[in-house]
Amino acid sequence: MSEVTPRLNALLAPSPGRRFSLALPSIWLWRLASVAVAFLIWEVLGRSPISLALPPASEVAVAFGEMLAKGEMWAAYANSLPPLLTGLAIIIVGGVVIGVSVALARTAEWFLLPVLIIFQTAPVSAIIPLVTYAYGIGDASKIVAIMILGLPLVALNSYKGIQATPPSLIAMSESFLASRFDTIRYVILPSASGMIFAGLRLGVSGAFIGIVLAELLITPTGIGDLITYNRAIARYDKMFAAIVSIIALSAVVLALLQAVETRLFRANARALP
Amino acid sequence: MTLAREAPAAPPAPMPDEKPILVADEVGLVYGGNVTALAGVNLTVPQGRLTSLLGPSGCGKTTLLKIIAGLIEPTTGDVTVRGEPVRGPGPDRALVFQDFALLPWATVLDNVGYGLRVRGVPRQERDQVARHYIEEVGLAGFEARYPHELSGGMRQRAGLARALAVRSDILLMDEPFSAVDEQMRRKLQEDLLELLRVEQKTVIFVTHSIEEAVYLSDQVIILTQRPGRVSTIVRPDIDRSGNVDEIRRTPRYMELVDEIWAGLRQYVE
Ligand SMILES: Nc1ncnc2c1ncn2[C@@H]1O[C@H](COP(=O)(O)OP(=O)(O)OP(=O)(O)O)[C@@H](O)[C@H]1O
Ligand SMILES: [Mg+2]
């Protein structure tokens, strides 16, 4: 216990200048520790006779390796990844473009905003089966499911971020003769970037929910099918391996997003009080 | 009656030697169709002098400054700079914001260089000019800091340096020293006077402090309560060559403060 406190203090203490190079490795250590603890608890729960449907973490890890070796995992992802990546690209680019332009061009506001809000508040998993009627069973349905779950979040957050730009900063920019374009580039977008990226994180999570829901409810293929099938034949270790794989992939995408944000708006992160 | 003054206010001495650089003619502003903030403001700002706007809270001082800056279009009347009507922000005017309006994600250097950046001045030249004015306002050494790392007074200086960096002739300042303590306020006042001796600018300065107005300005314009219009104009012909504390103790200085207070207190009571 006693070693932990100074470490924590080193993490929390604002040591100007070098604090980032110092804190970064320890942050990763803490994250690893957190994952390790979660797996440990899982292992213990899995070994206790609570439920057959919860195998211990070690068994799931073995199943994971097996599925990689036998190619089941690759086959599933070959199916799921193309629509997932396409959907992600659409919601990231499309969502930001829609949200930003709706906020900047006030004429579009009345038209698009109600649609976005309806989609954000609707019980989406109820809508998803209906997508089949329109788009059949295939990649198109999966992409639509991703868009329904992710696009409104990205667009609405981008919209709110732009709207939340302090008016005095915009007045400042205009008073120094900035063009509208420069004001957007140098003031509005950096100011909104925090909200935009918060929306992107939610949207990415939504996209992963979307693809899994679509593969569970509409099109029994890919990773969703891997989950359903293994549950049906009571191979819970494999089922959990499939679930863990999709969670891990989602974590990787979120980490990439974080890296992009830090790269683009590094100063923002530092300027937070 | 408290309003009765012992000595009648001396009528503002004409300043025949100075050309007006800025004239407001019957400037009126109605917000949202029902709040009349300004009702026919007439004023003349002599070139190279410091004019302050004094008036009860909510009388429209900020509004008037924003109209002069070209950020708000007046409902009636117009503002002219060297005879040209104001149609929007222009290179001849720079505004120092009451709330600083610094970009939180940009360093002091980048904040000060903002006006130059959006005018297309290349990085190297922009940084050089910005460094010059950062030093001039006494912020040297803080170029790489972010606004949240600065005290209120330092942020105010950064805002001032940003306005100076675009080298416009007219500096518009909205209660620039209200966010700092008395000590810092005096320091900034000194610095401003010193700066004006070097830079030869015309300054329009909003303040709540009568003493500050008398001490700093060549012309004090007192506005009535809302809807604001010009109530009185006082020209504090103070010799500022001596020691600050002596100046603040001269009979003329105290007389002027009393005179303006007498004019203002009717709006407070
Ligand atoms: N955007 C706005 N919309 C509607 N009314 C406004 C707006 N801005 C200011 N007003 C009103 O106009 C009047 C003048 O406001 P202004 O900010 O110019 O006053 P001020 O003299 O600067 O006050 P203070 O000394 O407190 O800063 C106030 O009554 C205010 O409520
Ligand atoms: Mg004001």
Q: Do A267 and B71 touch (CB under 8 A)?
A: no
Atom in ligand 1 nearest the alpha carbon of residue B60: 18
Question: With bands split at pLDDT 50, 70 and 90, how would you rate the model's confidence at A54?
Answer: confident
Choosing from B122, B139, B167, the residue where a domain stops is B167
**Segment A94-107 mean pLDDT:** 86
Choosing from B167, B194, B223, the residue where a domain stops is B167
Pocket of ligand 1 (CB under 6 A): B 31-32, 35, 37, 55, 57-63, 226
DSSP, collapsed to helix, strand or coil, labels residue B36 as strand
Nearest to B89 among A177, A191, A271 (CB): A177
The residue extents of the domains of chain A are 1-50, 56-271
A250-267 confidence digits (pLDDT tens): 999 999 998 888 888 765
Q: Are B88 and B67 in contact (CB under 8 A)?
A: no
Question: With bands split at pLDDT 50, 70 and 90, how would you rate the model's confidence at A268?
Answer: low
Distances (CA, A) of B24 to A181, B33, B67, B236: 31, 22, 10, 21
DSSP, collapsed to helix, strand or coil, labels residue B76 as strand
Q: Does B71 share its domain with B180?
A: yes
Contacts of B8 (CB under 8 A, 6+ apart): none
ipTM of the complex: 0.85
Output the six-digit token pair for A144. Answer: 């639509």
**Segment A78-94 mean pLDDT:** 93
Q: Does B85 share its domain with B177?
A: yes
Place of tokens 């203490």: A13
Best residue for ligand 1 mutational test, from B27, B31, B73 (most atoms within 8 Å of Cβ): B31
How far apart are the C-alpha atoms of A155 and A196, rounded to whole Å?
8
**Confidence (pTM):** 0.81
State the DSSP code for B139: -
Beta bridge partners of B22: B45, B81
Q: Are A187 and A106 in contact (CB under 8 A)?
A: no
Q: Does B174 share its domain with B250?
A: yes
Q: Does B193 share its domain with B86?
A: yes
Q: Does B120 share its domain with B133?
A: yes
CATH number at residue B199: 3.40.50.300
Q: Does B64 share its domain with B195?
A: yes
State the fold for domain A56-271.
MetI-like fold (1.10.3720)
Output the six-digit token pair for B20. Answer: 């007006």
A270 reaches B (C-beta below 8 A): yes
How far apart are the C-alpha atoms of A244 and A30, rounded to whole Å?
20
Taking the CA of B32 as reference, the closest ligand is 1
Share of chain A above pLDDT 90, in %: 35
Q: What are the DSSP E strand ranges found in chain A? A: none
Quick count: other Cβ atoms within 10 Å of Cβ A32? 10
* CA nearest ligand 1 atom 2, residue: B31
Q: Does B86 share its domain with B184?
A: yes
Q: Does B41 share its domain with B111?
A: no
Q: What is the pLDDT of residue A89?
A: 95
How far apart are the C-alpha atoms of B88 and B73, rounded to whole Å?
8
Whether the predicted pLDDT of A170 surpasses 50 = yes
Q: What is the pLDDT of residue B268?
A: 62
Q: Does B80 share its domain with B135?
A: no
Q: What is the pLDDT of residue B115?
A: 95
Atom in ligand 1 nearest the alpha carbon of residue B29: 12
Output the six-digit token pair for B65. Answer: 């400054």
Question: What distance in angstroms lies between residue A272's CA and the mean position of ligand 2's atoms?
Answer: 27
Q: Does B136 share its domain with B253?
A: no
Better pLDDT: A126 or B223? B223
Q: What are the DSSP E strand ranges found in B65-213? A: 76-81, 84-85, 93-96, 170-174, 202-207
**What one-letter code names the amino acid at A53?**
A
Nearest to B89 among A174, A190, A268 (CB): A174
How far apart are the C-alpha atoms of B227 and B17, rounded to whole Å?
33
What domain count does chain B have?
2
Distances (CA, A) of B72 to A143, A250, B14, B144: 47, 48, 31, 33
Which of A155-169, A232-246, B157-171, B195-209 bottoms out in mean pLDDT, i.e. has the lowest? B195-209
State the average pLDDT for chain A: 82
DSSP for B176-240, please give it: TTTTS-HHHHHHHHHHHHHHHHHH--EEEEEES-HHHHHHH-SEEEEEPSSSB-EEEEE------
Nearest to A168 among B101, B146, B162 (CB): B101
Q: Does B144 share its domain with B176?
A: no
DSSP, collapsed to helix, strand or coil, labels residue B163 as helix
Q: Does B223 share its domain with B151?
A: no
Quick count: other Cβ atoms within 10 Å of Cβ A193? 18
A165 reaches B (C-beta below 8 A): no
Whether the predicted pLDDT of B105 surpasses 70 = yes
B200-239 confidence digits (pLDDT tens): 889 999 988 888 888 888 888 988 887 888 888 888 777 7
Which of A63-67, B12-16, B166-170 bottoms out in mean pLDDT, i.e. has the lowest? B12-16
Whether the predicted pLDDT of A57 surpasses 50 = yes
A171-203 confidence digits (pLDDT tens): 999 999 999 999 999 999 999 999 999 999 999
How far apart are the C-alpha atoms of A81 and B107, rounded to whole Å?
42
Using the CB atoms, write b or e for A157-190: b if 16+ within 10 Å: bbbbbbeebeeebbbbbbbbbbeeebbbebbbbb
Place of tokens 């407070």: B268
Output the six-digit token pair for A10. Answer: 């080193």
Q: Are B46 and B72 in contact (CB under 8 A)?
A: no
- Whose CA is closest to B233, among B6, B2, B20? B20
User: What is the domain range of residue B104?
Assistant: 100-167
Quick count: other Cβ atoms within 10 Å of Cβ B266? 13
Q: What is the pLDDT of residue B255?
A: 79
**Segment B131-155 mean pLDDT:** 90
